Amino acid sequence: MTLLAVERIKLLSTRSPWWCALAALLITAGFSTLVVSNAGGGFPATVSATQFAYTFGMAVIMVLATLAVTTEYRFGTMRTTFQAIPNRAAALLAKATVVALVALVIGEVMAFLSWGLGNLLRPEDDLALNSTADWLNVAGVGPVCALGAVIAVATGILIRHSAGAISLVLIYFLAVESLVQAIPTVGADIYEWMPFNVAHKVITGDGESAGASGEMLTPLSTSTLSPWWALAYFAGFAAVLLAVAITTARKRDA
């Protein structure tokens, strides 16, 4: 509990997490407002439509998570942390836990804020959370963002340099997985198991939250897993990457 309190104070006493949280909320709310307010015809206002911009907010959250680690390496406070807490694994696990919890809160707020704005803008449309798929489409954003933050923390531990770690996280999240599909013959099969493609399945499922029309503003995940198994797979990937990062940190100089 003491380690968690220390990491919470270290994280929330700086400005960058607050600015990142605000940016994530504004970006998702802004894009969702544009999409829902212009919905109609081939793109009806649905629960899925309100979460159109969650990936943009998630990208900002992952930047926040990366900075939570790399900033300590940059200013040398990580060395002080390891001197005060010789058990590096415990210290880094506490940091990852706090960052994940903050990401969970931000993710849920931005998801329900976007959904709430959709209801305000289009009260005549059916945006109620009537099914498990609808709830996952909104409430699932928080857990996915939390696990994405753990992946970003692990990357920060491995790279230790802010620019490099953030570049790697964003390039992979926004581009690399999509480019894998272009690999001849096996690209589509590999893409099915790419972590963020699988994470997308948690939120969108098979498209049930897109309404009766089944039309989506963004492509569905190609993963064959169910949403709950997709969440478990994504969590497992995050846990393995964090374990590799902590093992590496224990073997090298701070």
Residue ranges of domains in the chain: 2-251
Residue 40: DSSP 8-state: B
pLDDT interval class at 211 (50, 70, 90) = low
pLDDT at 69: 94
**Rounded CA gap, 23 and 1, in Å?**
30
Residue 187: half-sphere exposure toward Cβ, Cα within 13 Å:
10
Residue 172: DSSP 8-state: I
Q: pLDDT digits over 67-119, tens only?
A: 999 999 888 888 888 888 888 999 999 999 999 999 999 999 999 999 999 88
Residue holding tokens 């307010």? 37
Both tokens assigned to 152: 């970003």
Per-residue pLDDT at 205 exceeds 60: yes
Write the CB contacts of 138 (distance below 8 Å, at least 6 apart in sequence).
Answer: 47, 50, 51, 111, 112, 115, 129
* Stretch 120-125: mean pLDDT: 84
What is the Rg, in whole angstroms, of the alpha carbon atoms belonging to the chain? 19
pLDDT at 214: 45
Mean pLDDT of all residues belonging to the chain: 89
Per-residue pLDDT at 207 exceeds 80: no
* Stretch 40-50: mean pLDDT: 77
